[in-house]
A = this chain, B = another copy of it.
Amino acid sequence: MTRVALPTAAMRDRLQSWMPRADISVWSAADDALPCPEVDLLVFPYMAPLSLLSRIPAHSVSVIQAQTLGFDGAAEYLASGITFCNAVGVHESSTGELALALILAAQRGIPDAVRDAATGTWAHRRRPGLAGQRVLVIGAGGVGKEVTRRLAPFGAKVIVVARTPRAGVRGLDELPVLLSGADIVVLAVPLTAETHHLADDTFLDRMRDGALLVNISRGAVVDTDALTERVRAGAVRAALDVTDPEPLPAQHPLWSLPGAIITPHLGGDTDAMDGHIDRLIVEQVRRLDEGLPPLHAVIRA
């Protein structure tokens, strides 16, 4: 009988009829009143800081299933004898959806319309739109693909860039030239040592005047101070679902700049999420039952 720890009673209620052979307990790493149970699979709470992984003792849990795709920093907190799996297939589509929401809102003036509503102001003016714009998607993984797929019917000119050039994907070495030709730049890379502050002074200075930077990956892929300075100057517009730090402090100057749209890390969190994460957990339990290795194991501590 596979022992499973789920972080919420709501998740247990959704899942128990789908895992009749599992022994399910409810334990959240965010709850320090109870000790971590010894289980085969532990589902880590959604949006909890990865530092809480340190509450899970070595060898007490065989596999941890995260509910996020990004796992930068997880290795630091993971005790030995534990395999850590990220949530591949759970958030890519809704993050791609949010990228389009941010791009279209910025290109069609939705934030101005919301601000104008406060004073009952009907202020028609031409907007750039998305059709015909040159969009550079940086990252060709799951999220990058979902962004690109949704851009297709809008008549934009889309170029995808990634570390490894291949058919339909240009290499990162071409980034300097491609940046200077893009109206919209979408960051869809994982946060790694290599992508930390990818959008730095040099990157941002290569962007066209008034171009839009969309970040749906992780805040630290952008040098926030460098970006803030350019948004304030009107050189670059920004649409950010992730910031550095996160949450963005109430006093941060980015909040008040009309050229910035900031959403509070909503990327994966839609009504579609429960179905995606549930399917992944059921599949992982089935694999453990059958003695198969778990899917998406990204760290083995």
B97 in contact with A265 (CB, 8 Å): no
Question: Cβ of A233: which chain B residues have Cβ within 8 Å of it?
Answer: none
| Of the residues B100, B104, B115, B266, contact of A124 by C-beta under 8 Å | B266
A94 in contact with B129 (CB, 8 Å): yes
The quantity of this chain's copies bound in the complex is 2
A77 within 8 A of B: no
Interface residues of A in 118-151 (CB under 8 A from B): 118-132, 149-150
B93 in contact with A131 (CB, 8 Å): yes
A166 within 8 A of B: no
A113 within 8 A of B: yes
Q: How distant is A12 from chain B, measured CB to nearest CB, in Å?
A: 18
Q: How distant is A157 from chain B, measured CB to nearest CB, in Å?
A: 12
Chain B proximity mask over A81-114: 1 for CB below 8 Å, otherwise 0: 0000000000001100110111011011111011
Size category, A interface: 35 or more
A11 within 8 A of B: no
Question: Cβ of A124: which chain B residues have Cβ within 8 Å of it?
Answer: 47, 264-266, 269
Cα distance, A266 to B128, chains bound together (Å): 11
A250-B121 contact in complex given A110-B111, A150-B153, C-beta closer than 8 Å: yes
A129-B263 contact in complex given A98-B108, A108-B98, A154-B150, C-beta closer than 8 Å: no
Closest to A124 in B: B264
Q: How distant is A113 from chain B, measured CB to nearest CB, in Å?
A: 5
Closest to A239 in B: B110
Cα distance, A262 to B124, chains bound together (Å): 11
A248 within 8 A of B: yes
Closest to A104 in B: B101
Question: Cβ of A264: which chain B residues have Cβ within 8 Å of it?
Answer: 113, 116, 122-124
Which one of A56-64, A251-259, A286-294 is at the B interface? A251-259
B129 in contact with A97 (CB, 8 Å): yes
Question: Cβ of A107: which chain B residues have Cβ within 8 Å of it?
Answer: 101, 270
Cα distance, A155 to B265, chains bound together (Å): 21
Cα distance, A150 to B103, chains bound together (Å): 14
| Of the residues B47, B153, B252, B261, contact of A153 by C-beta under 8 Å | B153
A249 within 8 A of B: yes
A20 within 8 A of B: no
A residues adjacent to B (C-beta < 8 A):
47, 93-94, 97-98, 100-102, 104-105, 107-111, 113-132, 149-150, 152-155, 246-252, 255-256, 260-266, 269-273, 275
